Amino acid sequence: MTSNYWTGRLDLDFTKRNQQTVLTRSYAVAPWKIQRSLYPEGEEVCHCVLLHTAGGFVGGDRLAAHIHLAPQTQALLTTASATKIYRSNGADALQDVQIHIGEGASLEWFPQETIAFAESQYRQTTRIELANQATCTFWEIVRFGRTARGEKFLNGNWRSQTQVWRNQKPLWIDQQWLKGDPQILASANALNDYAIAASFVFVGAEVSPELVTRIRATWELGNYEGMSGVTRSLCGLVCRYCGDSSSDARKWFQQIWQLLRVSYRGRAICVPRVW
């Protein structure tokens, strides 16, 4: 009997060769697919685009990804399109991501928007292991419901857990759970009747109060609608967006990314061509 569910796996290994970051191992089991490496900003930073050939998750899917960056490598990963979480028959769709970042290495993980349909059931776990002097910058932009057609995230379930560790000590742990219920969606402690919840995280190095002030100013100067928050941690920064515009979330996050890139890598951002 043939299963209607996907059991996909992705393994990526990045290695330093002279001054170039090279994807030395790429193993993908459908629906994962990795496009060829790109170097739009020189040999030091390897850009890779991930593709989900099925277009999205259905209940019962099991996807796993293992990503390893050798010391001193720099990689940027994104997705070719938005990810959809389809209506479920009751089973959870699961995704597990394990990332290891070697000493002095840097990973930037910027997937495009995720759209959680009404009645979808989804659970994801992400664990990131950082070596000394390593950093990780990532975002997540989630739209709850297909709002263009008036759909709200009702009778669904969204769970997400992200952990970042260094030397067996936690640097940042974030757990999210949103149940598709009208009262919960309207609550000020949940979506406050907005459709999008998004997070931008930088972890692995201390962020100065001056840089936090500059990041907060980008929100005020941008005249964005919705709500935002910027929190400095002992070893990084967390920025939150809640609103109705994924383009606003991405535009603001790119401004934050630019400030952090220049501060920690001495290099301006390079927007992936698939965006």
Amino acid letter, residue 252: W
Distances (CA, A) of 204 to 103, 136, 188, 201: 11, 7, 31, 10
- Mean pLDDT confidence for 194-220: 97
**Tokens 């290994």 sit on residue:** 13
The answer, yes or no, to whether residue 229 has pLDDT greater than 80, is: yes
pLDDT of residue 70: 98
Residue 220 forms part of a structural domain:
no
Q: What is the pLDDT of residues 170-188, one digit of tens each?
A: 999 999 999 999 999 999 8
- Mean pLDDT confidence for 17-35: 95
pLDDT of residue 257: 98
Is 0.85 surpassed by the pTM of this model? yes
Residue 24 forms part of a structural domain:
yes
Give the domain range for residue 39: 7-197
Total count of domains within the chain = 1
DSSP 268: -
Residue 206 forms part of a structural domain:
no
262: helix, coil or strand? Answer: helix
* CA-closest candidate to residue 158, choices 117, 111, 198: 117
- Length of the chain equals 275
Mind giving me the DSSP string for 20-80? EEEEEEEEEETTEEEPPPB-BTBTTEEEEEEEETTSEE-TT-EEEEEEEE-TT-EEEEEES
pLDDT of residue 1: 34
- Residue 228's Cβ-side half-sphere holds a number of Cα atoms within 13 Å equal to 21
Residue 127 forms part of a structural domain:
yes
- Mean pLDDT confidence for 43-70: 95
Residue 245 forms part of a structural domain:
no
Per the DSSP assignment, residues forming a β-bridge with 197 are: 142, 242
The answer, yes or no, to whether residue 2 has pLDDT greater than 50, is: no
Residue 193 forms part of a structural domain:
yes
Mean pLDDT score of the chain, rounded to an integer? Answer: 95
Is-contact 102 75, C-beta < 8 A?
Answer: no
Indicate the pLDDT class of residue 42, thresholds 50, 70 and 90.
very high
* CA-closest candidate to residue 214, choices 161, 185, 255: 255
Is-contact 61 93, C-beta < 8 A?
Answer: yes
pLDDT of residue 5: 84
Indicate the pLDDT class of residue 3, thresholds 50, 70 and 90.
low
Residue 160 forms part of a structural domain:
yes
Distance CA 106, CA 135 (A): 5
Residue 171 forms part of a structural domain:
yes
